[in-house]
């Protein structure tokens, strides 16, 4: 399931990794921490999208099961 929110999570992770590396190279601990935070934010968005997709699948399955009862 690839959609805009998946792309946004990946973008946040990549942006965060870049910030973290810049922070490490320059010795800027704050930038390094910002990068780690961005990566965590991206991972959270991806996880949320996965759960949302699975919940939709379960909902669809339950909806299909009940349609036969009507």
- The residue range of the domain holding 10 is 1-49
The pLDDT confidence band at residue 21, using thresholds 50, 70 and 90, is very high
Q: Considering the domain boundaries, does residue 61 fall inside one?
A: no
> Tell me: the pLDDT tens digits for 22-61?
999 999 999 999 999 999 999 999 999 889 888 888 877 7
How many structural domains are present in the chain?
1
Give 4-51 as a DSSP string.
HHHHHHHHHHHHHHHHHHHHHHHT-HHHHHHHHHHHHHHHHHHHHHHH
Q: Considering the domain boundaries, does residue 36 fall inside one?
A: yes
At 69 the pLDDT is 54
Distance CA 13, CA 38 (A): 6
**What pTM value is reported for the model?**
0.71
Q: Considering the domain boundaries, does residue 7 fall inside one?
A: yes
Residue 47 · residue 10 · CB < 8 Å = no
Class of residue 12 by CB neighbours under 10 A (exposed 0-12, middle 13-18, buried 19+):
buried
């Amino acid at each position: 399931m690839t959609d805009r929110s998946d792309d946004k999570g990946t973008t946040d992770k990549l942006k965060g990794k870049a910030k973290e590396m810049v922070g490490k190279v320059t010795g800027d601990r704050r930038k390094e921490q910002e990068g780690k935070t961005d990566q965590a934010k991206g991972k959270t968005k991806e996880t949320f999208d996965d759960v949302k997709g699975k919940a939709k699948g379960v909902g669809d399955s339950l909806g299909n099961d009940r349609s036969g009862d009507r």
